[in-house]
């Protein structure tokens, strides 16, 4: 390891002399051996971003180049773990130093002493390459952790053993002398290679009616949730983490407030997985980097999360990555950039903001990994926190260029207690065309038609509300008064959902379809009654149509639905 000395310090950015590293090499800075990463090389000066607080270090202290980039440990034990931005397990750090993280403390990402029961599926003499599955470990109940050959290795297996091993024990060898272990390391800034990338043709079912019906996301897709403070971003992401039909969840709390992150860290371990009935943490990795932690580690936390997601994707799993929030990550980049005295771009963000966001989101996708014919996917859902809810600011706009789904959260809807507060007029999804075949084969042939009709009524309502504000609803033609009543049903029955109600928190595709069909049937009944001479006033005061919302809160709703629809039809018969 070559050694140099500290020359200049500016917060988390320090300058060293006397070492000749490569870009993104990890260095140990100062007497306390703080961890840092090379981000610029200028002649004999090396600029390093330090992942820990640099208070008290001074010029002349030693700097050591490790010669290795920032890597994460990948192997059994990742699930159920809670890490900081550079994959130090927080429960281990608490034991070592109490409630406050001290500097220069190292802890391996995986438990080095726990023994895992390894079952070899490959045998001696098999030819393997990077990504090949050679065996499996039951990491948590129901989740088989496939042990992969590291992506940069290939050869014939000269030795392989089943049994109980720690992550550091040698479980086999290749004919080139490479020792295979349960774990391997991978640089976080390098995308893991895949055999082929596929078109996203299957939806990520979230159980949230607004998303599944109007603004779907595909497995392997990318979505952005921008919204001002208090509009429900974090609860929305927690709902997606809990209910989406992904096999593995990676939740990155990047620069969020400490109390919000505490809520996630205390709630997630207590949540029950609705699919298996076991704790949700059994298939979750949490990465916590609060706003008062060093900014450089915040920048690394996003890459740590997506590398872990890609690792499980390579086993053939569907992974959902929640990044909350990418705005804080961009702010960390802005702070580092200003200390490097780089030319600022819009609103002080670095000129490469768009490139970094695109590189991150492009690591999503539905793929065929090298080791298995079973496809895997990484879906990325990134929250954005625009200052003052201004969607024209650079982070939101740069995110919109690379994401295909935009769930715009509206503070006014949140104030009216309409949750999820996704604004149906400004949000969009570009996936419905690629998903239409799946909907036709797996839900109903008329799904896309129903969605178009719902959106048509909601857009018509928006135009009519402008007139209502001027002249009042009574001045509208009767047909348009009925349109407003149907739009209200769509908003209250289809789009509103109670995240804290035992039944309504999740809604399957069949129920969502039945709700849409019922609303359009009621619309037909109301318009037919108007055609046959019934006054709009009488049609609008029918009580039975308002009972449709009761369906949301019961599991077996078929009889109730028949009763409600029968009552509506009877009331509206002249």
pLDDT value of residue 213: 96
Tell me the pLDDT tens digit for each residue of 174-187: 999 999 999 999 99
pLDDT value of residue 557: 92
Phi then psi for 96, rounded to 5 degrees? -75, -35
- Name which residue leads in pLDDT, 141 or 255: 141
Helix/strand/coil for 446: coil
92 band by pLDDT with thresholds 50, 70 and 90: confident
Residue 488's Cβ-count burial label (10 Å; 0-12, 13-18, 19+) is middle
Contact (CB, 8 A) for 160 and 127: no
**Helix pair angle (295-313, 353-361), 10° resolution:** 30
Q: Which two tokens stand for residue 11?
A: 């917060």
Beta strands in 241-385 (DSSP E): 248-256, 284-290, 318-324, 365-368, 376-384
446 band by pLDDT with thresholds 50, 70 and 90: very high
Q: Which two tokens stand for residue 323?
A: 């990044």
Sorted by sequence, the CB contacts under 8 Å of residue 206 that are 6+ apart come out as 212, 217, 239, 240, 243, 244, 245
pLDDT value of residue 288: 87
Q: How far apart are CA 512 and CA 491, in angstroms?
A: 13
Find tokens 């089943």 and name the residue: 162
Which pairs from 414-417 meet CB under 8 Å and 24+ separation? Answer: 414/230, 414/231, 414/232
pLDDT higher than 70, residue 574? no
pLDDT value of residue 91: 83
Contact (CB, 8 A) for 294 and 12: yes
26 band by pLDDT with thresholds 50, 70 and 90: very high
Domains of the chain: 3-69 (2.40.30.20), 111-182 (2.40.50.100), 196-430 (3.40.50.300), 447-571 (1.10.1140.10)
Q: How far apart are CA 45 and CA 27, in angstroms?
A: 14
279: DSSP letter: B
What distances in angstroms separate CA 508 from CA 205, 326, 429, 446, 493, one per listed residue? 8, 30, 19, 17, 14
Average pLDDT over residues 100-104: 72
428 band by pLDDT with thresholds 50, 70 and 90: very high
Percent of the chain's residues with pLDDT above 90: 68
Contact (CB, 8 A) for 147 and 87: no
pLDDT value of residue 543: 86
Average pLDDT over residues 68-79: 94
CA atoms within 13 A on the CB side of 392: 0
CA atoms within 13 A on the CB side of 250: 32
Average pLDDT over residues 340-352: 91
Average pLDDT over residues 340-353: 91
Find tokens 């042990």 and name the residue: 147
**H or E element that contains 309:** helix 295-313
pLDDT value of residue 265: 73
Phi then psi for 468, rounded to 5 degrees? -60, -40
pLDDT value of residue 351: 93
30 band by pLDDT with thresholds 50, 70 and 90: very high
pLDDT value of residue 369: 93
Q: How far apart are CA 532 and CA 235, in angstroms?
A: 47
pLDDT higher than 60, residue 554? yes
Sorted by sequence, the CB contacts under 8 Å of residue 373 that are 6+ apart come out as none
pLDDT higher than 80, residue 403? yes
pLDDT value of residue 94: 79
pLDDT higher than 90, residue 559? yes
pLDDT value of residue 2: 83
Mean pLDDT, all residues of the chain: 91
Nearest 5°: the CA angle 486, 409, 379 is 105
């Amino acid at each position: 390891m070559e050694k140099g000395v500290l020359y200049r310090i500016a917060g988390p950015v320090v300058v060293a002399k006397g070492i000749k590293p490569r870009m993104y090499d990890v260095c140990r800075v100062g007497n306390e051996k703080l961890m840092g990463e090379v981000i610029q090389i200028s002649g004999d000066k090396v600029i390093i971003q330090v992942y820990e607080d640099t208070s008290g270090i001074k010029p002349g202290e030693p700097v050591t180049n490790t010669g290795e980039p920032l890597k994460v440990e990948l192997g059994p034990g990742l699930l159920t773990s809670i890490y900081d931005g550079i994959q130090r397990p927080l429960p281990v750090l608490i034991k070592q130093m109490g409630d406050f993280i001290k500097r220069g403390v190292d802890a391996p990402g995986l438990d080095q002493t726990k023994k895992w029961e390894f079952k070899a599926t490959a045998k001696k003499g098999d030819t393997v390459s990077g990504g090949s599955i050679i065996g499996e470990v039951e990491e948590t109940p129901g989740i088989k952790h496939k042990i992969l050959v590291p992506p940069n290795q290939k050869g014939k297996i000269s030795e392989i053993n089943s049994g109980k091993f720690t992550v550091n024990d040698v479980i086999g060898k290749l004919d080139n002398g490479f020792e295979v272990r349960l774990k391997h390391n991978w640089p976080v800034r390098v995308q893991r290679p895949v055999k082929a990338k596929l078109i996203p043709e299957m939806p990520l079912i979230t159980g949230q009616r607004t998303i599944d019906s109007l603004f779907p996301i595909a497995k392997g897709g990318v979505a952005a949730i921008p919204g001002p403070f208090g509009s429900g971003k974090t609860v929305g992401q927690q709902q997606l983490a809990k209910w989406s039909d992904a096999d593995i969840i990676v939740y990155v709390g990047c620069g969020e407030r400490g109390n919000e992150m505490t809520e996630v860290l205390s709630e997630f371990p207590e949540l029950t997985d609705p699919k298996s009935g076991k704790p949700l943490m059994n298939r979750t990795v949490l990465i916590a980097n609060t706003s008062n932690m060093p900014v450089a580690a915040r920048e690394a936390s996003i890459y740590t999360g997506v590398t872990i997601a890609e690792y499980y994707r390579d086993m053939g799993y569907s992974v959902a990555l929640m990044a909350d929030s990418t705005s804080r990550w961009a702010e960390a980049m802005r702070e580092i950039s200003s200390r490097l005295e780089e030319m600022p771009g819009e609103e002080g963000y670095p000129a490469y903001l768009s490139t970094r966001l695109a590189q991150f989101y492009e690591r999503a996708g539905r793929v065929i990994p090298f080791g298995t014919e079973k496809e895997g996917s990484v879906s990325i859902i990134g929250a954005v926190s625009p200052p003052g809810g201004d969607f024209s600011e650079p982070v939101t706009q740069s995110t919109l260029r690379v994401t295909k789904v935009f769930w715009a959260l509206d503070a006014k809807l949140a104030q009216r207690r309409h949750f999820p507060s996704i604004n149906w007029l400004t949000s969009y999804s570009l996936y419905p065309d690629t998903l239409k075949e799946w909907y036709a084969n797996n839900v109903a042939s008329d799904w896309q038609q129903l969605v178009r009709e719902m959106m048509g009524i909601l857009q018509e309502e928006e135009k009519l509300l402008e007139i209502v504000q001027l002249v009042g609803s009574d001045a509208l033609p009767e047909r348009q008064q009925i349109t407003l009543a149907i739009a209200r049903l769509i908003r209250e029955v289809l789009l509103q959902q109670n995240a804290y109600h035992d039944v309504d928190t999740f809604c399957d595709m069949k129920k969502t379809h039945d709700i849409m069909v019922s609303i359009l049937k009621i619309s037909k009944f109301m318009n037919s009654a108007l055609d046959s001479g019934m006054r709009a006033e009488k049609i609008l005061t029918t009580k039975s149509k308002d009972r449709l919302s009761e369906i949301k809160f019961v599991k077996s709703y078929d009889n109730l639905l028949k009763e409600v629809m029968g009552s509506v039809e009877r009331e509206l018969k002249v």
